[in-house]
Amino acid sequence: MALALLAAASAAIAQGELLEPEKAFRISARALDGKSIEVEFRIADGYYLYRDRFSFATESGGTLAEVEIPRGTVRQDPFFGKSETFRRLVRIRVSLSRNDAVKGTLNIKVTSQGCADAKVCYAPLEQWVKVKLPGGKSR
């Protein structure tokens, strides 16, 4: 009985609900120092993010140009051609402009895009992260 129940439950999960994109791609961010931050995505098992689909912007709408995205895994997709992707975890370093760095607290809009293996691709996902910058180091 218990076994049958377990089997039913895991079957339900296996075929079951896709994760909402916010859960498949969990975002967090922290300050590295007074003028740069690190954005981290924890990517659920069976999901991946495309390297060339990230973008970062500040509240005022400015883009953050200095973004260091590590190299991903090159994936030869039978339908999509060559693409670089991340699984499990990716950490992205974003350098702030002087203007942004003095603000103390910064809201950043992060756009990302990914897919679930063999199932779906998500529309671009916009998430806001709030980062507190260490005070006094802004010069």
x-marked contacts with other proteins along 80-119 as a string, rule CB under 8 A:
x--------------------------------x-xx-xx
Does 61 participate in binding other proteins (rule CB under 8 A)? no
Residue from 73, 120, 128, 132 that binds other proteins (CB under 8 A)?
Answer: 120
**What's the residue count for the chain?**
139
Q: Would you say 70 and 88 are in contact if contact means Cβ atoms under 8 Å apart?
A: no
Contacts of 135 (CB under 8 A, 6+ apart): 104
**Nearer Cβ to other proteins (32/116):** 116
Of the candidates 126, 131, 61, 67, which has an alpha carbon nearest to the alpha carbon of residue 101?
131
Which helix (H) or strand (E) element contains residue 23?
Answer: helix 21-24
x-marked contacts with other proteins along 5-44 as a string, rule CB under 8 A:
x--xx--xx--xxx-xx-----------------------
Does 135 participate in binding other proteins (rule CB under 8 A)? no
